Amino acid sequence: MQPLNVVLLQSDSRVAQSLVSALASKFSSVRQVQSLGEVRTSIAKQRTGVAILDMETASISDVEHLSREFPQACIVCTHRLADEDMWTAALNAGAVDVYPPSDTRGILRTALRNAALTQSAAA
């Protein structure tokens, strides 16, 4: 079984620290990045299985491109506002779920579930 790696693109540093702390105990590697380019590099080079994207930093088309470019990666999006249209668009673009960034339990649960599914499909 390959190690489970996560890349996190989050605009709010406090939220990022909280997510990194929650994810670090369950994943082999949690890498916080500052740009979408770093997300792509991480997925490609470190075989990152989970990408957590702040929708205030990434766009719907970014989610769609990442989903097509890396179909094996689980993309979980976060957004501080409950914008149903944006959330639906993110899901249609390839995200597996969308959460408020404060819902660390939901983000962690979805990341773990989808990383496990990805690993079992690859085995």
Question: Taking the model in full, what pTM does it have?
Answer: 0.88
Residues shown for the chain = 123
Q: How far apart are CA 33 and CA 10, in angstroms?
A: 8
Is residue 66 within 8 A of residue 60, CB to CB? The reply is no
pLDDT of residue 3: 52
Two tokens at 66?
A: 């990442």
For the four alpha carbons of 65, 57, 48 and 91, in that order, the dihedral sign comes to negative
Phi, psi for residue 118 in degrees, rounded to 5: -65, -40
Positions in the chain whose pLDDT score sits under 70: 1-3, 115-123
Identify the structural domains of the chain with CATH numbers, from first to last: 5-122 (3.40.50.2300)
Instruction: Using the structure block, give the residue that is written with the tokens 């082999």.
Output: 28
pLDDT of residue 1: 42
